[in-house]
Amino acid sequence: MFEIRNPQYKDRIREYLSRQYFMKHVGIELTVIKPGHVEAELNIEQTHLQQFGRIHGGVIATIADIAAGFAAYTLVPEEFHVVTGEIKISYFRPGKGHRLKAVGKVIKPGKSMSFCEAEIWSLEGGKEILIGKASTSMVNIPIVEG
């Protein structure tokens, strides 16, 4: 179990989602929000594909970053934001299918930084196939007004 340092984390995430313009542009939606755990999903469209018809690696990295980052955010105090300090992604298989799902989890929360992971799954033909995994360091930064 994780210590929840901001009981309003779900409301704050929903508020921030309204200003997540790149996430909206790509089409990523958060489908599960729990302490230390966030799931994100994306319906694959032609704009998400690279020249060989596979899901672009940047799209896969983006959904992993979003899932891990919001998972970290569920555990920070109200006066903090979270930004990515580091991300490393391993691609296991080509991304194909009609939907992507990323499952972000906090592995070790901290006062200044949290270590997180995200698994990226491709949904194709009724199957979920693990296509990648990301490790991230999410940095807690204080909210500065103005």
- Nearby residues of 76 by Cβ (< 8 Å), 6 or more positions away: 5, 6, 82, 114, 140
Cβ-Cβ contacts under 8 Å for 20 (sequence gap 6 or more)? none
pLDDT digits (tens, 9 = 90+) for 94-127: 999 999 999 999 999 999 999 999 999 999 889 9
Contact indicator for 99, 38 with CB cutoff of 8 Å: no
| Residue 58 CB-density burial (10 A; 0-12 exposed, 13-18 middle, 19+ buried) | exposed
pTM: predicted TM-score of the whole model, two decimal places: 0.94
**14: exposed, middle or buried (C-beta count within 10 Å: 0-12, 13-18, 19+)?**
exposed
- Residues 57, 91 contacting (CB under 8 angstroms): yes
pLDDT digits (tens, 9 = 90+) for 63-95: 999 999 999 999 999 999 999 999 999 999 999
CATH class for the domain made up of 9-142: alpha beta
